[in-house]
Amino acid sequence: MHKVTSTESYKWGIYAPSILLLTAALVYSIYWFVSANNIDDEVAAWVVRQEAEGYEISYSDIEVGGFPYRFEARLKDFAIAAPYHPYDWIWTSDELNIITLAYRFDRFIFESYGQQRIVYQEALDAQARAPVQYFVDGQGTALRGSASLKDGLIDNVSIDLQGLEATRTGGPGPAQDLKTDRVQLHLRQSQSLEQRETDFGLDLFVRAENTRLTSQGLDGQSTETLTLLQGKFTLDAIDAETLLEAEYIDRWFRDGGKVTLSDMAVAWDDYGIQGEGKMGVDTRSRPKGKIDLQIFGHSQIINRLVSAGVIEREAGQMVNGALTLLALTGQNDQGSINVPLEFKNGGIFLGPARIADTSPIRFN
């Protein structure tokens, strides 16, 4: 019978960690490649599920990579369309990358680069529902985002667009060019999973930096530039799965759905607006609610709104005069004016002045 000598024990002690490490690496490699081979089937199954919901999805090829730390599916010539949605939209991209860590399947990262196009339609006439098609072509855009799941449900989504350059054509309005340095969107469930059956909602945060919108009209070219546009919206009694269903949104508002606005900011170079409030619709589906505004540089803002056609020139002069008077009597230490913006009785009121009319909101 062979006896293990101290020398052999010593050698085994030296090589054991390396052998165990190599074994673990081999097992993990097998796990990774087996899982990677299943990604094609998982993507195909996902496409089938989405098509059952009314979407149309296509891609010319799929490549799988990311070894050893992650799984990455690269979908070439990706396209997704919603032909049964009221806007009948379609999004196409040169390439869509979907990434998940090898040890965490409840979080996904998605990326899209290069040429992208969004096509959608609106109704030219609310009665005839005559479709008008729009095209948004983007290039040089870096789209990155992530999504997290809890118990199989989407819990939050983040999207980050950088270097967006888009052109919108089609329809009765002027052609428009949009450029923005960065757009961020964050969407999350505002209640825990345990609360959602009885008390649920969504938090939506949007932020756009250095946005320039140029319109080509019969009167020439006009450009509107915003340094900052942001807002946080809390929607009560609604979930992410039905957020994009136009008929549901329409019914949700009519049934008393509310949108709470906070952390709102619209800024130009050295003047802007901050605000917070709550919005809904009245019995005739017209906007109803109140937003408390803090205004910096009211004269410049009113001139902007008049130039953009948001309010009539006469109403602008009246509002500017009222705000100037308010500034003389009620300007705070920050050099701004606090004034309520109310939506009621089919109109928009800035303080006591009615500055514009509103129409019923329709999403379908």
Q: For the segment 129-171, what is each residue's pLDDT rounded down to a tens digit?
A: 456 677 777 766 678 899 887 766 677 889 998 887 888 877 6
The domain spans of the chain are 59-244, 263-364
pLDDT tier for residue 57 given thresholds of 50, 70 and 90: very high
- Tell me, rounded to whole angstroms, the distance of Cα 201 from its chain centroid: 16
Say yes or no to pLDDT of 178 above 70: yes
Residue range 29-50: mean pLDDT, rounded:
84
Report the pLDDT value the prediction gives residue 126, as an integer from 0 to 100: 47
User: What is the band of 193 on the pLDDT scale with cuts at 50, 70, 90?
Assistant: very low
pTM of structure: 0.76
pLDDT in tens, 339-363: 899 999 999 888 777 878 888 876 6
pLDDT over 90 at 206, yes or no? yes
The verdict on whether omega for the bond into residue 17 sits within 30 degrees of 0, i.e. cis, is: no
The pLDDT score that the predictor gives to residue 343 is: 93
The three-class DSSP label of residue 122 is: strand
Q: How far is CA 17 from CA 12, 22, 122, 278, 297, in A?
A: 9, 9, 66, 63, 70
Give the C-alpha separation, 102 to 98, whole Å: 13
218 vs 340, residue with greater confidence: 340
pLDDT value for 121: 77
Per-residue confidence (pLDDT) for residue 140, from 0 to 100: 61
Q: Is 206 in a helix, a strand, or coil? A: strand
Residue 58 Cα to chain centre, angstroms: 23
Q: What is the mean pLDDT of residues 110-131?
A: 68
Where helices occur in 215-309 by DSSP H, the ranges are: 246-254, 298-307
Name the least confident of 10-19, 129-138, 191-200, 353-362.
191-200
